[in-house]
Amino acid sequence: MSTRREPDKGWGEFRAQMREWRAAIERVLPPWWTRAALGILLAFAIVLPFFFSVSSGFMNATIIALAYVVMSLGLNIVVGFAGLLDLGYVAFYALGAYSLGWFGSDFFFKAHVHVLVSGVASHEIGIHLNFLLILIAAAMICAVAGIIIGLPTLRLRGDYIAIVTLAFGEIIGVVAVNGQSVHVGGGMTLTAGNLGISAVDSPYFPGIGVFNELDLRPWYWLALGIVLFVLFVNVRLRDSRLGRAWVALREDEVAAVSMGIPSVRTKLTAYSMGAAFGGMSGAFFGTYFTVVNADQFQFGFSIFILAMVIIGGLGSIPGAVAGGLVLGYINYYLIPDVLNNLPSKFGLNFQVTEIEFGIYGFLLVLVMILRPQGLIPERRRRLEMTSQIGAQDAELEEPTATQTTGVAS
């Protein structure tokens, strides 16, 4: 028995030692250190593309990972801050992507609307808006959709919200498939179903020109810009009256409403903010993948984003960023580019992409066992966890004590 105890104790001591060192380091560093570190990180992020070729697989993966970070930050508001388990986040990916399909392609071929687009696009049929306008439109459409979906849903409690949002995610997916037979007049349909709306516009900015696949740098900076904007909004919201109200509702709804927080309205704000960010990211994915296809909007996507939020650390903004980056890179770089042909080198007849869901499952279980609070936990949760660790240590002491008395008698 004592042999089984000892590693536990050693582990506890190791953690205590780590905490001590960390505190020592924090004492040495000046208080502006965190800001300086963030500034260095930001500068590094801006110059990152210069270290890679303009169309490398790594750049491609980075751009997608950044778009995932936006999704993960959006869902973190809903699940992490407000504590509403949303299993239908894919709905807002779909709506955002369709906003791009509708307002940035020749899909509505009877219309002739052009706002701030490149010379080529301004002669094409259909609706062509500047990408930034589409981004705003996507955010607004999704925020409104969030309110419409949320109004009946958020009156429910706990698990029921998860079930109903899951259903709404599926409904949007089915509407996307069947939208090709929904006529909106003039022979035009609502969606192109599984055929996909293709030849969507690439972003165009005066002075930069139209983005293309041969040079991924502008895409990267655009994605980074969106991430920074969403990060800013997230941080501001977290430290505001609204952010505190979300956490209060998550912690104890009865107490929160008794303190004067309007439950449904506050939850709706969280839900529609999350939806708006999902929509922005969806619009970006639409233009980056150059197609808006109904089969992109699967239930698995909602779970993928949820996994980012949980692996990163529920309710933690740096955690949501880390979770989005880690899973984004694993999904679009590590598995397809680095590991994919590994089994064949050992004479095994399969590719890693075929077992990727097994890998995600394994990772999720691993994180839940080794680091249940997530990669970068929220300050509050970290405090909770350390206090719990303290309690566990105390519990561990007790059996040892009885054991010694047992030996003595």
Partner 1 sequence: MTIETEAPRAIAVMRAEHLVKEFGGLVAVDDVSLDVPQHSIVSVIGPNGAGKTTVFNMFTGLYKPTAGRILLGDRDVTRTRPDIITSLGVARTFQNIRLFGAMTALENVVVGRHTRMRAGLFGSIVRPPRVRREEREVRERAGQLLTYVGLRESAFDQLAAQLPYGDQRRVEIARALASEPTVLLLDEPTAGMNPQESAALTAFMRKMRDELNLTILLIEHDMKVVMDVSERVTVLDHGHKIAEGPPEEVRADSRVIEAYLGTPR
Backbone angles phi, psi at 382, to 5 degrees: -60, -45
CA distance 83 to 91: 19
Q: Is 244 in the site for partner 1 (CB under 8 A)?
A: yes
Out of 259, 342, 368, 396, the only residue in the binding site for partner 1 (CB under 8 A) is 259
Backbone angles phi, psi at 211, to 5 degrees: -70, 145
Q: Using alpha carbons only, what angle is made at residue 355 by residues 352 and 360, rounded to the nearest 5 degrees?
A: 105
CB of 227 to partner 1, least distance (A): 16
| Choice between 201 and 378, CB closer to partner 1 | 378
Out of 209, 262, 358, 372, the only residue in the binding site for partner 1 (CB under 8 A) is 262
Counting residues that bind partner 1 (by CB under 8 A) gives 30
CA distance 392 to 12: 9
| Choice between 276 and 283, CB closer to partner 1 | 276
Q: Is 16 in the site for partner 1 (CB under 8 A)?
A: no
- Region near partner 1 per CB under 8 A, out of 206-214, 289-297, 352-360, 380-388: 380-388
Q: Collect all residues with Cβ–Cβ distance below 8 Å to 316 and sequence separation of at least 6.
A: 76, 80, 374, 376, 377, 378, 381
| Choice between 212 and 387, CB closer to partner 1 | 387
Q: Are 273 and 243 in contact (CB under 8 A)?
A: no
| Choice between 202 and 269, CB closer to partner 1 | 269
Q: Is 73 in the site for partner 1 (CB under 8 A)?
A: no
Q: Is 387 in the site for partner 1 (CB under 8 A)?
A: yes
Contact pattern for partner 1 over residues 203 through 242, marking x by CB under 8 A: ------------------------------x--xx--xxx
Give which of 345, 344, 369, 364 is closest to 354, Cα–Cα.
344
Q: Is 254 in the site for partner 1 (CB under 8 A)?
A: yes
Q: Is 372 in the site for partner 1 (CB under 8 A)?
A: no
Q: Are 143 and 273 in contact (CB under 8 A)?
A: yes
CB of 395 to partner 1, least distance (A): 17
CB of 398 to partner 1, least distance (A): 21
Residue type, 46: I
Helix (H) or strand (E) holding 345: helix 342-345
Burial of 150 (0-12, 13-18, 19+ CB in 10 A): buried
Residue type, 298: Q
- Region near partner 1 per CB under 8 A, out of 90-98, 118-126, 132-140, 381-389: 381-389
CB of 80 to partner 1, least distance (A): 12
CB of 132 to partner 1, least distance (A): 18
Q: Is 404 in the site for partner 1 (CB under 8 A)?
A: no
CB of 250 to partner 1, least distance (A): 8
Q: Is 261 in the site for partner 1 (CB under 8 A)?
A: yes
Pairing state of beta strands 112-115 and 126-129? parallel
Out of 192, 245, 275, 335, the only residue in the binding site for partner 1 (CB under 8 A) is 245
CB of 267 to partner 1, least distance (A): 12
Number of helices (H) and strands (E), helices first, in the chain?
A: 15, 9
Q: What is the DSSP string of 126-176?
A: EEEE-HHHHHHHHHHHHHHHHHHHHHHHTTS-THHHHHHHHHHHHHHHHHH
Q: Is 19 in the site for partner 1 (CB under 8 A)?
A: no
First CA to last CA across the chain, in angstroms? 18
- Region near partner 1 per CB under 8 A, out of 130-138, 196-204, 216-224, 258-266: 258-266
CB of 251 to partner 1, least distance (A): 4
CA distances from 51 to 54, 135, 331, 334 (A): 9, 29, 22, 19
Q: Is 389 in the site for partner 1 (CB under 8 A)?
A: no
CB of 289 to partner 1, least distance (A): 30
- Region near partner 1 per CB under 8 A, out of 29-37, 60-68, 217-225, 260-268: 260-268
CA distance 353 to 195: 24
Q: Are 312 and 324 in contact (CB under 8 A)?
A: yes
Q: Is 64 in the site for partner 1 (CB under 8 A)?
A: no
Residues in contact with partner 1 by the rule CB under 8 A: 233, 236-237, 240-245, 247-248, 251-252, 254-263, 269, 273, 380-381, 383-384, 387
